[in-house]
Structure 1
Amino acid sequence: MAEEFGRTYWEQRYEGHGHGHGHGDAGTAHGRPPNPQLVAETGDLAPGRALDAGTGEGAEAVWLASRGWRVTAVDIAAGALERARRNAEDLDEDVADRIDWIRADLTEWTPQERFDLVCSHYAHPQGPPQELFRRLAAVVAPGGTLLVVGHDPADRHSGAPHAEVTSAHVTAREIADVLDPQEWEVLTAEARPRTVTVADGREIAMSDAVLRARRRG
């Protein structure tokens, strides 16, 4: 199963129907809202430098940039980044100018800076997801925020994309367990149900695993 979520898989997925690891709602980045957990958990944060890890078509990166963040948006798929760049430019050129688009494998890429906010939504890495969570946590600046939104195991029977793939699921507690409690304050660690509309028009119930933590300064 590890090979399923490599670069070839994601390029083919975006080429096929244009929705890779987004949050399940039909539409494009400039035609749908950002992930609701991002809005709920970071809406009160002062803008700074953000890393959107696994940006997909860029809805979350665009939302952050529109609120004044300087965003580094990373994805493994060139097709996803091209769509995201076009979506941002079509929406607002000033917003687009606050986003740096980078094609990279998050399990290998190491940025040369730390970020005030690191967020990831439904990333499906090759290999153990805990390793990716550790890499993301390592680039959060002191006082900064880590937000990871994943597919809770309850999604296995939802009919959602990747629902049948065991390795795509994680609990909030499993995410939190990679964080050293002496370095991190866990602010949110829970499963949140919500309803989304998928590409064929069906409404399905999903459950998000939501982890928000603050790195101690």
Structure 2
Amino acid sequence: MDTTRNQDHRDAAGDGAESFWEKHYAARRAWGERANPLLVETVEHLPPGAALDLGCGAGGDTIWLARHGWQVTAVDISTTAVEQVREHARELGLGDQVATEQHDLARSFPGGEFDLVSAQYFHTPFTLPRSQVLRTAAHALRPGGLLLIVDHGSTAPWSWNQDPDTHYPTPTEIAAELDLDPEQWPVLRADMPRRRATGPAGEAATVTDNVLVLRRNP
């Protein structure tokens, strides 16, 4: 789930959300072409371990992590997405480092413990208990592990949601919604950097990302 969503809170019950994302990813033809830059910035100097990619989508982050020695569990609601990510990993000789699981995270969460959980642009036009999912992710961290949350902080020209009244929660607001014990999950980073981004048709714009990084203490 890696593109801007129109936050109209459609009902996630039944097959609505799964069908929506299945159609979205079935229409895509490029898989795992590039990683999100804030993932690379955060992780590139860390020793590799076990990573969970929430809403893996096209798989760019999963492939980057696997190439850098991580064992990655890639999760998405779209069966097509996880199958394509798994096949792309095999084609690149990374099949042993990538496991894929189909989950509607409103209903289920992958098992295991992780050194990194990455939630990049974890938005959806359907009702999702996002804070609950991210709290579960924080509890799935091993001691010393990082939860990296990167959200949209502005509306790009190619964003699906062009509502000028859209409120993008700040990192501080997101941390408050998670309601985690700051002694056990201290905030390492909470800021709103700007960067030049490229849209699906090659258009460029300056966008804002809302970045929150938490660490699980022993």
TM-score (normalised: structure 2) = 0.83
Question: Is the 2:106–2:129 contact (alpha carbons within 8 Å) kept by the matching residues of 1?
Answer: no
Write the distance in 1 (CA, Å) between the matches of 2:147 and 2:66: 17
Look up the match of 1:13.
24
Secondary structure of the 2:65 match is helix
Do the aligned partners of 2:187 and 2:214 also contact (CA within 8 Å) in 1?
yes
Q: Counterpart of 1:175?
A: 174
- Distance in 2, Cα, partners of 1:78 & 1:108: 15
Worse-matched range after superposition: 105-114 or 167-176: 167-176
Match of 1:112 in 2: 111
Aligned to 1:190: 191
Q: How does 1:10-159 map to 2 (within 5 A)?
A: 10-16=21-27, 18=28, 28-29=31-32, 31=33, 33-90=34-91, 92-93=92-93, 95-125=94-124, 126-152=127-153, 154-155=154-155, 158-159=156-157
Q: Is the 8 A contact 2:101 2:110 kept in 1?
A: no
- 1:28-84 CA distance string (max 9 Å, x none): 41x3x3111001111121111110111001110111111111111000001212222
Q: Does 1:3 pair with 2:10?
A: yes
CA distance in 2 between counterparts of 1:203 and 1:139 reads 36
| Residue number in structure 1 paired with 2:160 | 162
Q: Is the 8 A contact 2:122 2:151 kept in 1?
A: yes
Residues 191/13 of structure 1: CA separation in 2 closer, same or farther (3 Å cut):
same
- Which one has the bigger helix percentage? 1
Cα pair 2:158 2:200 within 8 Å, conserved: no
1:168 to partner: Cα distance = 8.8
Structure 2: tracts of 5 or more residues without a match:
1-7
Q: CA deviation at 1:149?
A: 0.8
Q: CA deviation at 1:196?
A: 1.6
Q: CA deviation at 1:101?
A: 0.6
Identity, in percent, stands at 35
Shift, 1:159, TM fit: 1.8
Instruction: Please say if residues 194 and 208 of structure 2, whose CA atoms lie closer than 8 Å, have aligned partners that are also in contact.
Output: yes
Partner SS state of residue 7, structure 1: helix
Give the length in aligned residue pairs: 202
- Between the aligned partners of 1:15 and 1:168, the Cα distance in structure 2 is 30
Q: Note the aligned Cα RMSD (angstroms).
A: 2.2
Q: Which amino acid aligns with 1:10?
A: W
CA 135–168 in structure 1, closer or farther in 2 if over 3 Å, else same = farther
Task: Note the residue ranges of structure 1 that are not aligned, 5 or more in a row.
Answer: 20-26
